[in-house]
Amino acid sequence: MGMSVTISAANERDAEQILKLQYLCYQSEAELYGDYSIEPLTQTLDSLKAELADGCVLVAHLGDEVVASVRGCMDADGTARINKLIVHPRMQHHGLGGRLLTAVEERLAAAGAVKHYQLSTGHRSESNLQLYRRHGYVPVSSDAVNPKLTLVTLAKDAAPSAYVASA
């Protein structure tokens, strides 16, 4: 009998597995852009634990193993920022990234008045760009970080509330 993947809020017990998975997943990004000093590869365990305490961090478990994760936070202006969406290489291309993206959007919307969602990825990260486009994100800006990397920021409006007060 196969196990199913479950998505839940991350806790401190997940921190080391998230950090190891993050390191594994961002190797291909570092190689793509020729830069192994990117923040996901240099983040400390203490820094990740602080994110767990302050933000919305979700994980996908397959049994006891963390196989995917995503983080989000809410700005005062209603912008929900999503980052570090990672899926173990052996679990990619099975819809898990999309499930996590939807889950973090829902979790952030439940926590506050989200006006729109925003995330960023590298301009050469075509599979990331495709995933985000499939989920309704459109490019809104780009920022040249260095000659090899341009960050593309994508955004989408939050879905209108299902409840509309009658006048």
User: CATH code at 128?
Assistant: 3.40.630.30
**pLDDT at 160 (0 to 100):** 64
Give me the number of domains the chain comprises.
Answer: 1
In a domain, 149, yes or no: yes
- Whether the pLDDT of residue 118 is over 90: the answer is yes
Please report whether residue 61 resides in a domain.
yes
DSSP string, 128-165: HHHHHHHTT-EEEEEEEEETTEEEEEEEEEPPPPS---
Domain contains 54:
yes
17 vs 43: CA distance, rounded Å: 13
Return the pLDDT at 166: 41
The answer to the question of residue 163 being in a domain is no
Give, in order, the Cα–Cα distances in Å from 38 to each of 30, 34, 142.
7, 10, 17
pLDDT > 70 in the chain, percent? 94
Residue 130 covered by a domain: yes
What does the pLDDT read at residue 3?
72
Does the pTM surpass 0.95? The reply is: no
Q: Is residue 167 part of a domain?
A: no
Q: In what order do the strands lie in the sheet with 149-157?
A: 5-9, 56-62, 65-74, 79-87, 116-122, 149-157, 138-146
- Show the domain range for 20: 5-157
For 26-75, the pLDDT digits (tens) are: 999 999 999 899 999 999 999 999 999 888 999 999 999 999 999 999 99
134 found inside a domain: yes
| Residue 114, domain member (yes or no) | yes
Q: Within a 10 A sphere around the Cβ of 108, how many other Cβ atoms?
A: 21
- Span 117-142, mean pLDDT? 96
Token pair 């852009």 is found at 33
